[in-house]
């Protein structure tokens, strides 16, 4: 497994070693020992989630607040997404900046999104199976978000606006400058 830094401190790209033969392929999706050696972070994942979405679906930008904040390791089991992390740590030099990467079932890359970040993804393939490990349990009372098309963040989701499908709940999320 190769782990690379992103421009956002604490946010990492995880590139697995993929072993292929005539039967198919195999790769290790996470190794705590290797992750800690490279990043210095000890993460204890306690919840795994999976979603299935179709082309144009945009989920995000979501986060958990306070002591229920979550770090996530996200990946695509099938399909292709544009994955986005936004630094919400007010004392960070990259506060309000975002990082995006294409995750798909060909590159098998993963993105580690630390606590204190908002996260979202847009589906670029016909269908996607999206998987994420979390280091804290989901808590409805602690959820927060930022509207996907926030003018301050100015995220290019790699989709035509008319193709974007957003939940009614996500359409009501506040702008970055108004977030709680």
| Residues annotated as part of the active site | 62, 132
Residue 90 makes CB contacts below 8 A (sequence gap 6+) with none
3-state secondary structure of 44: coil
What are 101's two structure tokens? 């990467």
Which letter does DSSP use for residue 79 in this model? Answer: S
Tokens in use for 13? 């790209």
d(CA 102, CA 150): 20
Reduce the DSSP state of residue 162 to 3 states and report it: helix
The CA distance from 144 to 70, in Å, is: 12
Please report, for residues 29, 80, 101, the alpha-carbon distance to residue 86 in angstroms, rounded to integers and kept in the order given.
23, 20, 12
* Euclidean distance between CA atoms 122 and 132, whole angstroms: 15
């Amino acid at each position: 497994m190769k782990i690379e830094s992103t421009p956002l401190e604490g946010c990492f790209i995880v590139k697995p070693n993929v072993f292929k033969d005539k039967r198919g392929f195999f790769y290790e999706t996470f190794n705590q020992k290797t992750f800690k050696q490279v990043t210095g972070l000890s993460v204890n994942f306690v919840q795994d989630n999976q979603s299935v979405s179709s082309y144009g679906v945009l989920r995000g930008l979501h986060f958990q607040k306070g002591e229920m904040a979550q770090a996530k390791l996200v990946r695509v089991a099938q399909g292709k997404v544009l994955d986005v992390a936004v630094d919400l740590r007010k004392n960070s030099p990259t506060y309000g900046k975002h990082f995006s990467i294409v995750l798909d079932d060909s590159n098998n890359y993963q993105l580690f999104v630390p606590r204190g970040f908002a996260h979202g993804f847009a589906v670029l393939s016909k269908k996607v199976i999206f998987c994420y490990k979390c280091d804290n349990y989901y808590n409805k009372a602690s959820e927060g978000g930022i509207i996907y098309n926030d003018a301050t963040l100015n995220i290019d989701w790699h989709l035509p606006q008319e193709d974007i499908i957003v939940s009614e709940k996500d359409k009501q999320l506040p702008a970055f400058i108004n977030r709680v």
